[in-house]
Amino acid sequence: RFARDVNHVIAKHLVGKAKGTRSGIALEDLEDLEDIRDRVTVRKVQRADLHSWSFHRLRTFVTYKAAPAGVPVRLVEARDTSRTCHRCGHCEKKNRPSRDDFRCVGCGFAGPADHNAAINIGRRAVSHAADDAA
């Protein structure tokens, strides 16, 4: 129940922020990655957290809260969003020396991995929206 409540609070905040800034929400489409739990390596003590990961529930909450608020939600392919440099577009596994860090071996850009991936997700959503409009 606690996780469900936290997901509701997060979804409400995201939708409120998007509505207030008159923007949309871009999310990775993790449906295609059904084997994500098999591909991710975690320590034994973290396995319970991994298997109770409720990304689908959060996505559902965001989607249904966004609809009446008029906030568009766009799902983008998740593949390589965290391995691709948002500055130069270089994509390589070595760009992620650790879980939290991103260091592009192409252009030298360095920063938080989640921030880099978020920029890539946003750009994919915008480019897909432009493709859909054309």
Give CA angle at 70 (65, 73), nearest 5°.
65
Residue 39 confidence (pLDDT): 63
Domain boundaries, the chain: 1-77, 80-134
pLDDT of residue 47: 67
C-alpha–C-alpha distance, residues 26 and 120, integer Å: 10
pLDDT value at residue 57: 87
The parts of the chain modelled with pLDDT lower than 50 are none
To which residue do tokens 């390596």 refer?
41
- Look at residues 57, 48, 124 and name the one whose alpha carbon lies nearest to residue 86: 124
- Give the C-alpha separation, 73 to 47, whole Å: 30
> Which pLDDT score, from 0 to 100, does residue 29 have?
86
pTM of the predicted model as reported, rounded to 2 decimal places: 0.77
